[in-house]
Structure 1
Amino acid sequence: MDPDPAPPKPRHSRKRTNPGHAPEKVRAVPGPQREVLDSAIETARAAQQSNLNLAADVDALRGALAAAQATAVEQGRVLSSLQDELNSKHQIILEMQHHEGQMEAQFLADQNKLGQMEAFFTADREHLASMFQQQNELVNKFTEAQKLLMQRNEDVDRLQRELVIKSDEAIQLRAHSQLQALNTSKKQVPPRRKTRASMGAIVNTGARTIEIPLDPIPMAEVPEPSTESTSQPLLSATPRLAEVFDGDIDKLDKVLNDFAQLCLGRDAVVTVTPKKGTTAKKKSGSAKKKQDKPFMINYVHRRLRHFTCMKFEVEAVGDFEHHNPASEASVSACEAGEDPPDELFQWDFSPGYLQCRWNKLMIKKIVDTLLAEHEEDQDDFIEVGANRVFMENAMKDKLATWRGSWHKFQPRFSSATQHVETSAEAHARAVQAKEQHQLEMRSLALKTRKLEDRIETSTHTIQLKILAGTARDVETWKRMRDMVGHLGIWGMSSEEEADVMLDGQLVRIYKVKVCIWREPSIADYLRFVDAQTALNKKNQPGPKPAPRVRNPQHGFGKAAAPPGLPRNLYSSTWLDTKTPAYIETLNIPKEVFELFVAATDRMNL
């Protein structure tokens, strides 16, 4: 649009610069013409003023038109921008409508899936409710069966107690009748346990035995039925029994069968085979010497200890823990050839003490004293091998033991406190270690005695049941003996002695600890063997064994699991907590050793 033209300037606004053009002043002439002229002049002036006003209005209108045109252009640009934005919004709305359609379709599909899952969950909930109901029924049945089993166990215990009472009465009546019939005043006292006499022929075959309501689980390779044991027991734990039967269970069964035939009044052929390397006839003198050899050897050791205590002026050899050894100067002088005084008795506990001349002279003086005191017995000593060399070597072994005890009481460098111990600290540490060692040795002795008792009880019970001929649990007792033999000494649970008040009296008991690595059911199986042991010792003279109390609150045993046992003898729960590397160190054999299953035919009352 073209810019507005400049408004024309009025003609009268131009100044007349030419003096010749100056208007002439005419005086007014009155009259009508003058009035007409004045009127025309006024009209011209009004028209001129009107023209000026109209020109100003035109100029204002032109400015307003230009502003309106600029505003229209700007509004056109804004309208174009709004139109573009409207088109973009419209496109977004179309896309959102399309996406909303897709979402609606997805929502319908998901709603359909939710319906299917709800139907599946409803069916699964009904199935779980059915399974829970069945589980409750099984729990109720199991509870009833457990109650019935407990009741039967109580009945079995009651019947066993009644059986023991009746058996006692029967034994008393039988003994009384035999005393009256034979006019004897006293029944023959059985030999003391674990003596050579007790290892002879079995007597009192009517002794009470416990019938175990368990059957051994057949092994992977089931052997043919026989009276032979499936495995050899641990005869090293019962050397006297192994010595009597030569470690041959087959020979034991044959002897028992022959003895049973003789008891029934039938003929039996008994073959006596002498031991290999010996003759059937032996001189009584050689047998006596063989029996006297261990006695003489032990006697020599006792006399050596006696003379050592006498010469060193101590009450017992254990007092060498606080022995004051010979000085370094005296030992050096002795090594140079100077003999110590005859009345001086001191040990040299410095390094190399077994080879030093000082200790050799001390040992020589003790051996000379022994030989001088027993000059008449020297031939007997030499005959059993207890010559001077034997005595000196025995003294060296004892000296090593005494020096070891003395060394434990010497101050050491403590890594905990980073300084050398004082004499009091060393003494306290050695006393604590000694007490701990004594506890460990006592525990080991208890385990050894427990193992021997269990194997002896199992073997003796098997013999009695084989002689009876009607026992139904012979194989169970054989498997029980094999299980005890596999466990060995380290498979026996640890015990602690304790004094408790029972019925107002102080009673000594053994608190049995839980053997954490052992199969838990083994403890229940061993109770049958322990009950038979207690039954065997009930009527024997001498002190009765202290009761053994099992309780998980007594804690766990500290003994490590022995390697080489069949897997069934280890606790599966305990094995699950161990790493494969540790399980590999156990060297578990591939052989399968099955345990027991309930004998339902012997549980019916």
Structure 2
Amino acid sequence: MPPNRPTPLDRPTTAPPDRPIPAVLNEHELPQNLTIITNAIETALRNVFVGSGPKQMSPLKQSPRCKKIEDEEVNLERASEPSIHRDFILNEVRRLFKDEFGIMQDVDFVAHQPASLDDVQAYEHEDGPGPDPEQLAFDLSQGYNSPWNSSILESLLHEFQARCKDESWPVKKSDNYVRQALRNRYKRLRTTWLRGQPRLTSNGIVETPAEVEERMLEHLKQLGKASRQNTRRRNVSFRLTVTKQIHRYFQKYLRRVSTLDGVVKLKTEGGDNDLVVWEWLQRLVRFLGENGMSSEESAVENNFEHVLRVKNMEWRRCIDRELDIVDVERIVDSDIFSPRGAKPVKRIRALDNPMSSRDAVKGLPVDLYDGAWFSRLTQREIDTLAVATHRFPWMKVATL
């Protein structure tokens, strides 16, 4: 029979001499890794249950779906706003950055002192206090969506909306709209700051401050040249647009004058009874001149017919019926209307048509101005209008 083997309970509780039982460690003798883990857990719990003091928590990271919805809302808001509102908001964003960071123009941001790496890491991974609200400093090594930079941009957002309320701005925007404008401003300034940092030359040597300055000046020179070219291009485009509009007004005026001259000539030769009416219409159109001719907007009626919606001229007396008589005569009378030139298009006159932005023609008889519009003018505006002293006798024209 084999000898009885000792059971686990019968085995000695003492360890072999080469493997001593470790003594119980106190809290000051914990291994280093365990100490780090313990501190991290304590920090996380303190942030959850107690908070980390006055620092402002940065917004949670958005899901792609939420960001897409936010972008769509901002795009809709931008699509429905006048350009003057957009310019106002962007000017206020620039003013806010000027006040907070002491810059007068973008290039001044090159001197911005970024936040220290230790402060950023302490805020993002431990229990650091976060950005100092009295001396904001971006982490320029990262984009706008980092926790540190997001916290600064949220502070700027609150300051922006507070200014809007305190100063009673005429234009108010949603937080998402302003947040996007602030982010775009930061991206532009960060690009300027990065461009102003020393780079490696072709020889593998870091640029000197003088070389950095020379490179920046050359860049600004190129920007100025491009800006002047764009300005000239916009001015030329604007002048061409205005020239085309003036050409259209003048062509419309000449066409009506030519029509009336032809009709008056025929009526004079034929001794027609309605000659006096056509002569009155002739004087009316000549008095108004090309600047008294209304403009139109293209439109489509019944899904296929091209029409023109005549813009309403607030200052001008309503002469739609009189002008329609002239335009119709050009179409129906083959002796007056030549088949050459643009094909006549149906014109629609309505009170809900767009308003013309052109200024009132000066020096006309008071009879040619709209009575309600004229009654709202101040004496100074009436003096500027230089109304003619003579009158223009009005005639009620029946259908001819």
> TM-score scaled by structure 1?
0.27
Q: Which has the larger radius of gyration?
A: 1
User: Higher RCO, 1 or 2 (CA under 8 Å, sep at least 6)?
Assistant: 1
